[in-house]
Amino acid sequence: MKLSLSVALCLTSLALAQEEADASRWGWNNYVSSKSLQKNIKLPNILRHSHKLLEHSKLSNGTRAFGTKGHNATARYIKQLLDRTGYYNTELQSFPFFAWSGTSKFSADGKEYETRTATYGKAGEVTAPVVLAYATGCLAANFGPAIKGNIALIKRGDCDLGLKVAHAGTAGAAGVILYNNVPGSFSGTLGASPRPEGPYTPVGSISGEDGDALAASIAGGKAIVGTLIANVVAEDRWSSNVIATTKRGDQRNIVMAGAHSDSVPAGPGINDDGSGTAGLLELALQLPKFQVRNAVRFAWWTAEEVGLVGSRYYTAHLTPAQNQKIALYLNFDMIASPNGGFFILDGDGDTFGTSGPAGSDHIEQTFKDYFTSAKIQNGTAAFTGRSDYGPFLDAGIPAGGVNTGAEGIKTEQQAAWWGGKAGIAYDPCYHQACDGIENLDTNALLVNTKAAGHAIATYANTLRGIPRTRNQTVTRRSSSLHSELIGFDDGCKHDEDVKV
Ligand SMILES: *[C@@H]1O[C@H](CO)[C@@H](O)[C@H](O)[C@H]1NC(C)=O
Ligand SMILES: *[C@@H]1O[C@H](CO)[C@@H](O)[C@H](O)[C@H]1NC(C)=O
Ligand SMILES: *[C@@H]1O[C@H](CO)[C@@H](O)[C@H](O)[C@H]1NC(C)=O
Ligand SMILES: CC(=O)N[C@H]1CO[C@H](CO)[C@@H](O)[C@@H]1O
Ligand SMILES: [Zn+2]
C-alpha cells in the first residue's frame, strides 16, 4: 500500500491509509462466508485453548468454578487474545454473586446417618433431643413448644423446604433434619434468606427409609439425642462475563453466540464447557480475517453452573433498545462429549413441543443444513432451559445451538448413527474431576465448531428468516429476572437435573 505525499491532504490521507491498512488486515471486501470461515477452523488451534483451560484449572485445585483463580484466568485469557486482534470492542461485565456450598453430618442414638444438605442452610453444630414436627411442617402451628432448643425432624413434601425450616427457626429449633417422603436420599434448596416466615437453622437431609424409622421410634416414645454438624461456606464472589462485539458490521443487527467459561467445582470442565469456550474463541480469532455485514457478538458466561447466573445477569441488564438490537443468540455448551451425539436445539418445537421465539425455527434449520452437508445424522435436543440460551428465550430473543449431550444415556439407534456405546452416558465424566483433555471427542469438537462457524457466518451476512418480533411486554419480563437474580432462589436447581 502506498502513502500519499501530498501535504495538504496529509491528515485525511493518514486516516485513509489507516483505514486501508485495517481493510487489508481485516479483509475489507472479503465478506465472511460459511465456507471461508470453516476453512480457517483448525483442530490443533482449538485444542491449544483446551490445554490452556486445563492449566488454568491447576491454579485452583483442579477447577475453574466461578470466583476461583482458575476461572478468572480463563476469562483473562479470552479477553487478552481478543483484544490483541483489534477487531472487537471487549468488555468484562463483572458482578458479585452469593455462593453457598456446604456439607452436613448427622448422628443419633449411636447411628451415623448418610446425610446431605439443603442450599442456604446455616453453619453450626448442635447436640440436642430430636423432636418431631406435626404433619409436614408447612404451618407455624406444626411446631410445638418442645421444638425450642432442639433438633426438629421434618418430612419432605407439601411445601418448599425453606418454609419448613423457617417455621422451625421461628419456633426456636437449634437445627433441622429433613427426611425424604419417598425412598432414597435427597438434597434441595431452602431458597434465599431472609424470608418473612423466620430464620434458617443448620440443616441436614436423610433418606426416606432412615427418616421413617427415626420418626417411628420418636413417635413410639423413645428419647433420642442427635448431633448435627453443618459446614457451610457462604460468600459474595465477584466474577465476569467476557463480551466481545465486532467493531464492524451493522450494530442494530447483532448476531450473538455464547458458551460458559466456568466449570463445576468438581473438575476442570474441559468438555463442560471448555469445548464451547475453546471452539468459540478460535472462531472469534479467525473471524478478523473477514468483513461482516451484521455485527457479531461473542459472550463467555460466568457462573452458568450455579444457575445461568452470567447470562441472566446480561439479559436482565439489557435496555429494551439493546435487547431489540440482538437478532438472535446461538449457544454452545458441551460440544465434544466423548460418547456424544449431534443434537440441535428444537427451535420449531416439532420434536419436543416447546419452540423458541419466531426465528428459532430458522436457526434449527440452519444447523440442520450444516449437518446435512457434512453428511452427519442430526438429532434434536429440547429447550429445557438448562443452559445459557434460557435467559435469551425469556427475553424474547430467537435462540438455538448444538450440543453433544450430558448425563443422558445413548440409545441403540444413536449408537448406530454416531458410533459410541449404547447404554452409557453421552459424557460419563459429566461434572466430574475426569472432565479433562482425554474427555474430548476431538472430531465432534471440530465438527461442532464448524457448525457454529456456519451459523455465525450465515447470519453475519443476512438475517433473512429471523423476524424481530419483540416488544415492550417481552423485554419487561426479562428485566424482572433481576430481582430473582439478586434473590437467587433457584440457583441450585441442579441437585436434580435442570441444566447442562
Ligand atoms: C483439592 O481437591 C481435592 C480433591 O478434589 C480435595 O480433596 C481437597 O480438599 C481440595 N483442597 C482444597 C484446598 O480445596
Ligand atoms: C476474580 O476476578 C474478579 C473480577 O472479575 C475479582 O473481583 C476477584 O477478586 C477475582 N478472584 C480471584 C480468586 O482471583
Ligand atoms: C407484544 O407482545 C404481546 C405478547 O407476546 C402481544 O400480545 C402483543 O400483541 C405484542 N404487541 C405488539 C405491539 O407487537
Ligand atoms: C434425528 C433427526 O432429527 N434427523 C433429522 C435431521 O435432519 C433431516 C433434514 O432436515 C431430517 O429429515 C431428519 O429427520
Ligand atoms: Zn455446561
Give the atom of ligand 4 at the shortest distance from the alpha carbon of 379.
Answer: 1
Tell me the domains of the chain and their CATH numbers. 29-87+247-499 (3.40.630.10), 101-234 (3.50.30.30)
Centre of ligand 2 from the C-alpha of residue 262, in Å: 13
Q: Which residues of the chain are under the pLDDT cut of 70?
A: 1-28, 471-500
pLDDT score, position 437: 98
- Residue 61 CB–ligand 1 contact under 6 Å: yes
In this structure, the residue with its CA closest to atom 14 of ligand 3 is: 471
Centre of ligand 4 from the C-alpha of residue 420, in Å: 20
Give the atom of ligand 2 at the shortest distance from the alpha carbon of 94.
Answer: 5
pLDDT score, position 354: 86
In this structure, which amino acid lies at residue 472? Q
User: Which residues are identified as catalytic?
Assistant: 304
Buried b (16+ CB within 10 A) or exposed e, 374-413: eebebbbbebbbbbbbbbbbbbbbbbbbbbbbbebebeee
- Residue 239 CB–ligand 2 contact under 6 Å: yes
In this structure, is the dihedral angle defined by the CA atoms of residues 346, 351, 352 and 356, taken in order, positive or negative? positive
Centre of ligand 2 from the C-alpha of residue 117, in Å: 28
Compute the C-alpha angle 359/361/365, nearest 5°.
115
- Find cell 457479531 and name the residue: 296
- Residue 61 CB–ligand 2 contact under 6 Å: no
pLDDT score, position 392: 97
Helix axes 43-57, 69-85, angle to 10 degrees: 140
Centre of ligand 3 from the C-alpha of residue 467, in Å: 14
In this structure, the residue with its CA closest to atom 2 of ligand 1 is: 61
Yes or no: say if 457 and 32 are a contact pair by the CB < 8 Å rule.
yes
Pocket test for ligand 4, best of 377, 378, 412, 413 (most atoms within 8 A of CB): 378
Yes or no: say if 448 and 367 are a contact pair by the CB < 8 Å rule.
no
pLDDT score, position 304: 96
Buried b (16+ CB within 10 A) or exposed e, 136-150: bbbeeebbeeebeeb
| Ion ligand 5: protein residues whose beta carbon lies under 5 Å | 272-273, 333, 500
Buried b (16+ CB within 10 A) or exposed e, 262-295: bbbbbbbbbbbbbbbbbbbbbbbbbbbbbbbbbb
- Residue 471 CB–ligand 3 contact under 6 Å: yes
In this structure, the residue with its CA closest to atom 1 of ligand 1 is: 61
Q: Which three cell numbers stand for residue 496?
A: 436434580
**CA 366/CA 362 separation, integer angstroms:** 6
Which protein residues are within 6 Å of ligand 4, measured from CB? 368, 372, 378-380
**CA 32/CA 211 separation, integer angstroms:** 62
pLDDT score, position 21: 53
Whole-model pTM: value is 0.79
Closest ligand to C-alpha of residue 357 is 3
**CA 292/CA 254 separation, integer angstroms:** 11
- Residue 103 CB–ligand 1 contact under 6 Å: no
Closest ligand to C-alpha of residue 261 is 5
Give the atom of ligand 3 at the shortest distance from the alpha carbon of 471.
Answer: 1
Q: Could you write out the three-class secondary structure of the chain?
A: CCCCCCCCCHHHHHHHHHHHHHHHHHCCCCECCHHHHHHCCCHHHHHHHHHHHHHHHHHHCCCCCCCCHHHHHHHHHHHHHHHHHCCEEEEEEEEEEEEEEEEEEEEECCEEECCECEECCECEEEEEEEEECCCCCCCHHHCCHHHCCCEEEEECCCCCHHHHHHHHHHCCCCEEEEECCCCCCCCEECCCCCECCECCCEEEEECHHHHHHHHHHHHCCCCCEEEEEEEEEEEEEEEEEEEEEECCCEEEEEEEEEEECCCCCCCCCCCCCHHHHHHHHHHHHHHHHCECCEEEEEEEECCHHHCCHHHHHHHHCCCHHHHHHEEEEEEECCCCCCCCCCEEECCCCCCCCCCCCCCHHHHHHHHHHHHHHCCCCCEEECCCCCCCHHHHHHCCCCEEEEECCCCCECCHHHHHHHCCCCCCECCCCCCCCCCCHHHCCHHHHHHHHHHHHHHHHHHHHCCCCCCCCCCHHHHHHHHCHHHHHHHCCCCCHHHCCCCC
Backbone dihedral region for residue 254 (phi beyond 0: left; psi -120 to 50: alpha; all else: beta): beta
